[in-house]
Structure 1
Amino acid sequence: MKKKISSEIKKIILENIESSTSHGFPNIVRNESFILKLMWTLCLLVSSGYCAYCLTKSFQDYFSYETDTQMKFKRVSQIEFPTVTFCNKFAADLNKGNWLSELAKYGYKELKLSLSDLTKFNEFFKEIDYNFKYESLKFKDNFNLVGFDIDKMLLNCNFNFKECNSSNFKFFLSSIFGFCYQFNADKTNIRKVSSPGKQAGLSLELFIGYPNKDYDLYKSYGAHLFIHNSSTIPSSEFDGISLSTGHETDIIVSKTFFQKLSKPYSDCVKDLNSTESFGSEVYKETIKIFGQYEQKVCINLCFHKSVFERCGCYYPDQKIIKNISQACDHSFGFKCYLDFAASFGESKISSECIDKCPEQCQSVKYNLQFSNANFPTPSYADFFIAYDSEINNNLRSFYSYSNVKESTLAVNVYFDDIGYTLVEEKASKTLEQLVADIGGFLGLCIGISILSIAEIFDSILKIILLFFQKKNDSIVKKHLKNFN
């Protein structure tokens, strides 16, 4: 009985193999010649081996999570205008005539007298940078007594075919430049433009002040400009461009939007406001201090945290520390900071900071092109002199063309096209492509398709039905026997 069932199972399997849509197995079973069977067996083994190799490679490609980058330009009807932040390179307005401005004058003179060896100017300017940051942190509650007021700096303002004024600017305190002012920084009301060109952009004419040999402790003077997304905070340590007096600078802006794939393709962060998106403490602290995550800000914070671990103090910075007691002193702390900063780039700590500060999945970058012209013309300078004399009670002390030219500048920020470049990551191999590879290689090498797999289940089902049939036959025979 058992022999009969096994022979019937064998018959079912052989019949299904002979009628199979795959090519190798039917020919092995169907041919009676040993040589032909051997030939088809070898062919099947070689083909199956190549198929296994191709499928293994395809799976490796899929699970390596490689990406391809696509770049395309998208033209739109409107585009968000960037936030424009400007600062005076003269951090302190020493003409305010109050106790703090007089104290600043005295401090500047003392620092200048301390420079006995003119060949050590690099060390001297490092001390100037430290001293200004330290004093601005120390007197941060009174900095308005020496900061450059926007009403004094802003001579003229136009945006998108309309006039603008000081009320359109938001105050921003920089640890290097002191008082800075931001246009289009209100996140709830971001301004947009629908036309390219200078008239649709932002045009500023600024008064910078006059260089003074007694108090100048700077290498250059003019304005410092930041062009950035409204959601980011400009950093005076590595952002921005310098603008010189006596010139009109045209800045042509083009916008690039970067979009990366998140896990498993990369460790980039999607939610830039959530402290739960990444595990490192410096990542979480970046969001707590600055309100939103940005990788380069996180790396900079990691650097300052590393300074604290090494030196026991922070380099003075308005955004990182609030208490002057945490700042490095002028003796040991300042020297420790300089030694650490000089070796940071080549240290293990630098690479650790990269690991602690992931990339953003989405980011915006503004690409800038520049051109310059002399500013102002003699006749235009006359307007400044007349206006300052009659309206502003000679606030800026304009009296001649050369006097105006050395203390003023103009800048125009505008788009050359209303659109943006999208740089987007796509998966090199998707799940659909992996399935297509599996079907393609199995069909090419062995002739197997989805229906070929169904043939296996067909054989299994037939065998199960055979057992049920034999069992029923056995029960019927048993009843007949008992009846007789």
Structure 2
Amino acid sequence: MSLQLLLFDFVDWSSASGIPQIAYAVSTLFRLAWIVICLVLFAVLLYQSASIFLKFLTYPSAIVTSLNYGSIPFPVIYICNSNPLRLDYIDQYKTTDFKDLYNWANQYSAMLSSNWGDVSPDDYGINNGLDRYDKTLRGRETIVLLMAQLTTTQLDKAANKASAFIRNCNFNNAECNSNNFTSYYDATYGACFIFNIDERRETQRAGSNYGFHFLMVVNQVDPKGNRIFLPVTDSAGVYISIQPKGGDPAMETFGIGAPVGQNTQIGMTYVSQ
């Protein structure tokens, strides 16, 4: 088979429309015109191929922002009273089960009354504190050690009760009460309470109106001015920890203080990946 025959066979079977036009042109002028057209189109092909390849090497990405409205899981709320035990109950058994706690509470309160001065007697080393911070830290460590010596039954009787501590609550515009809280024991703050322990609650919209609201009663004295709670710090209030599913409350690290007589609002940001 000659080269000419092979070339004309390629022309007959080629899918490129310009090549047959070159081979079977009726005149030299038409053949030259088709050659120019094919070369120009081939140059355009090379240009587009190079542009696409260079764009691919830049690894472009398209980001589409969308707003998806729907329910999101609500976190678990942990609440602890800064005063872990009821002093009125401890006072009833101040000579037996709660002797050390009663004596410590009186000595610690005497220190607060004297503006962090030394007290006498000092059975628990309060006077060894160098400053206000050191004395507060010693006081917290002391009550943790003393409470660790109590049995679960003793703690249950002297601990705060959810019904007296949490007066009312509202979640996502629906009423709830103290029965929706589950108690647990913290080494420092005694009986604490958990909301949404089963992690089934969800919120549909952002904003405080669709969150969790609750009213707590935290007292240190009765109407006669007598202390009714065992103080851990020099002020009354609660500590609140907000954790996702499976989170550790870690009140000493993540607890947010909420003092008495104030409306405390805590905002959360939900990030989904």
Which TM-score bucket, shorter chain as reference? 0.5 to 0.7
SS at match of 2:87: coil
Kindly report which structure 2 residues correspond to 1:418-457, keeping only aligned pairs within 5 A, or say none: none
| 1:171 CA displacement | 0.7
Match 1:104 to one of 84, 101, 106: 101
Per-residue displacement from partner, 1:91-135 (whole Å, max 9, x unpaired)?
Answer: 2333322445332344564242222x33xx344444445555555
Report the AA paired with residue 54 of structure 2.
Answer: Y
Residue number in structure 2 paired with 1:89: 82
- Distance change (3 Å), C-alpha of 1:17 and 1:67: closer
Distance 2:140 2:259 in 1: 20
Per-residue displacement from partner, 1:53-101 (whole Å, max 9, x unpaired)?
Answer: 12333xx34xxxx784746363x6x887765432111123333224453
Instruction: Decide whether the 8 Å contact of 1:101 with 1:145 is kept in 2.
Output: no
Instruction: Decide whether the 8 Å contact of 1:84 with 1:225 is kept in 2.
Output: yes
SS at match of 2:240: strand
Instruction: Decide whether the 8 Å contact of 2:79 with 2:240 is kept in 1.
Output: yes
Distance 1:46 1:82 in 2: 56
Match 1:209 to one of 217, 220, 232: 220
Q: What TM-score do you get using the length of structure 1 for normalisation? A: 0.37
Distance 1:136 1:221 in 2: 19
Q: Is 1:157 aligned with 2:168?
A: yes
Instruction: Decide whether the 8 Å contact of 1:132 with 1:176 is kept in 2.
Output: yes
Residue number in structure 1 paired with 2:272: 259
Report the AA paired with residue 169 of structure 1.
Answer: F
Q: Is 1:19 aligned with 2:14?
A: no
SS at match of 1:52: helix
Distance 2:80 2:51 in 1: 66
Residue number in structure 1 paired with 2:190: 178
Gaps of 5+ in 1: 261-484
Q: What TM-score do you get using the length of structure 2 for normalisation? A: 0.58
Residue number in structure 1 paired with 2:50: 49
Kindly report which structure 2 residues correspond to 1:128-167, keeping only aligned pairs within 5 A, or say none: 128-133=139-144, 139=150, 141=152, 143-144=155-156, 146-154=158-166, 156-159=167-170, 165-167=177-179
Distance 2:266 2:211 in 1: 12
Report the AA paired with residue 17 of structure 2.
Answer: S
- Distance change (3 Å), C-alpha of 1:165 and 1:43: closer
Distance 2:75 2:204 in 1: 10
Residue number in structure 2 paired with 1:243: 258
Residue number in structure 2 paired with 1:168: 180
Distance 1:91 1:114 in 2: 24
- Distance change (3 Å), C-alpha of 1:162 and 1:73: closer
Distance 2:256 2:150 in 1: 27
Instruction: Decide whether the 8 Å contact of 2:100 with 2:146 is kept in 1.
Output: no
| 1:42 CA displacement | 5.8
Instruction: Decide whether the 8 Å contact of 1:84 with 1:226 is kept in 2.
Output: yes
RMSD: 4.9
| 1:182 CA displacement | 2.5
- Distance change (3 Å), C-alpha of 1:183 and 1:47: closer
If each structure's helix is expressed as a fraction of its own residues, which one has the higher value? 1
Kindly report which structure 2 residues correspond to 1:359-438, keeping only aligned pairs within 5 A, or say none: none
SS at match of 2:85: coil
Report the AA paired with residue 180 of structure 2.
Answer: N
Report the AA paired with residue 168 of structure 2.
Answer: C
Report the AA paired with residue 250 of structure 2.
Answer: S
Distance 1:28 1:176 in 2: 95
Distance 1:193 1:54 in 2: 42
Residue number in structure 2 paired with 1:328: none
Kindly report which structure 2 residues correspond to 1:325-364, keeping only aligned pairs within 5 A, or say none: none
Report the AA paired with residue 104 of structure 1.
Answer: L
| 1:180 CA displacement | 0.9
- Distance change (3 Å), C-alpha of 1:49 and 1:180: same
Residue number in structure 2 paired with 1:72: 67
SS at match of 1:103: helix
Per-residue displacement from partner, 1:354-406 (whole Å, max 9, x unpaired)?
Answer: xxxxxxxxxxxxxxxxxxxxxxxxxxxxxxxxxxxxxxxxxxxxxxxxxxxxx
Instruction: Decide whether the 8 Å contact of 1:94 with 1:101 is kept in 2.
Output: no
| 1:236 CA displacement | 1.5
Distance 1:51 1:169 in 2: 61
| 1:162 CA displacement | 8.2
Report the AA paired with residue 126 of structure 2.
Answer: K
- Distance change (3 Å), C-alpha of 1:219 and 1:126: same
SS at match of 1:72: coil
- Distance change (3 Å), C-alpha of 1:125 and 1:207: closer
Residue number in structure 1 paired with 2:128: 114
- Distance change (3 Å), C-alpha of 1:198 and 1:125: same
SS at match of 1:18: coil
Instruction: Decide whether the 8 Å contact of 2:84 with 2:232 is kept in 1.
Output: no
Instruction: Decide whether the 8 Å contact of 2:75 with 2:199 is kept in 1.
Output: no
Distance 1:46 1:159 in 2: 66
